[in-house]
């Protein structure tokens, strides 16, 4: 099995960035959503992304952001990619790509096969997909909030666009996730934290070690 792309999301410090890149992260994500404990302002992100430049792909993550916010993010921070983690339609994705000239990751929240079926509407539109769990009831943040979805939903599914598997991944379950889905990419945030928004070096190491151990035995 080929090593998947690994995106570590919700980074807020240079120390954490250096650690995940040293372990082989292909993408690093920065959250622009004020309700999130991982939120960074565009001027802060600019310094962090400058620190990364050329070592990994940088991803600016937003949730149903308007053009004004996206423009502020793009021109201050200069990310390599945009991740749209809200309810953005295919037309909205195309508009964002046309306005800013950057590749787009479109995130989807999955719970049932019906959720997966609408992904085909983004064929030829998004450059990369991200599959997360639907948020629990009364959640204030999008995504799985550290809870995985049923990976069996992806059994036998052959995407036309590469994807990142997200939602509740950690060192204890990432091997099972890879074996179940064969995902070409992984996305993790809270699974490598000691507290919301605080990346933990030991948990980062454990996650990458678990991925590598899985690849050696697959």
Q: Please pick, among 64, 132, 150, 172, the residue that the annotation labels catalytic.
A: 132
DSSP string, 188-203: ESGGGEEETTEE-HHH
pLDDT tens per residue, range 9-42: 999 999 999 999 999 999 999 999 999 999 999 9
Q: What is the dihedral of CA 23, 28, 33, 36, to 10 degrees?
A: -10
Let me know: does 215 contact 174? Beta carbons within 8 Å.
Answer: no
- Is 200 noted as a catalytic residue in this protein? no
Supply the DSSP symbol for 148.
-
* pTM, two decimal places: 0.93
pLDDT digits 0-9 by tens, 144-170: 456 789 999 988 778 889 999 999 999
From the centroid of its chain, how far is CA 2? 19
**Tens digits of residue pLDDT in 61-117:** 999 999 999 999 999 999 999 999 999 999 999 999 999 999 999 999 998 888 888
Annotated catalytic, 132?
yes
């Amino acid at each position: 099995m080929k090593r998947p792309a690994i995106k570590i999301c919700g980074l807020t410090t240079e120390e954490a960035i250096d650690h995940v890149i040293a372990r082989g992260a292909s993408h690093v994500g920065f959250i622009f959503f004020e309700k999130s404990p991982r939120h960074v302002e565009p001027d802060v992100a600019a310094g962090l992304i400058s620190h990364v430049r050329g070592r990994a792909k940088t991803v600016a993550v937003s949730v149903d952001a308007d053009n004004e916010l996206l423009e502020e993010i793009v021109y201050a921070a200069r990310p390599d990619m945009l991740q749209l983690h809200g309810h953005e339609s295919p037309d909205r994705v195309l508009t964002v790509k046309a306005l800013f000239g950057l590749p787009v990751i479109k995130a989807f929240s999955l719970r049932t096969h019906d959720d997966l079926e609408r992904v085909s509407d983004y064929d030829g539109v998004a450059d990369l997909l991200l599959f997360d769990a639907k948020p629990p009831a009364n959640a204030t943040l999008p995504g799985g909030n550290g809870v995985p979805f049923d990976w069996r939903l992806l059994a036998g599914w052959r995407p036309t666009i590469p994807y990142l598997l997200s939602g509740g991944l950690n060192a204890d379950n990432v091997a099972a996730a890879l074996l179940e889905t064969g995902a070409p990419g992984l996305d993790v945030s809270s699974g490598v934290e000691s507290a919301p928004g605080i990346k933990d070096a030991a948990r980062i190491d454990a996650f990458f070690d678990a991925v590598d151990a899985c690849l050696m035995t697959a």
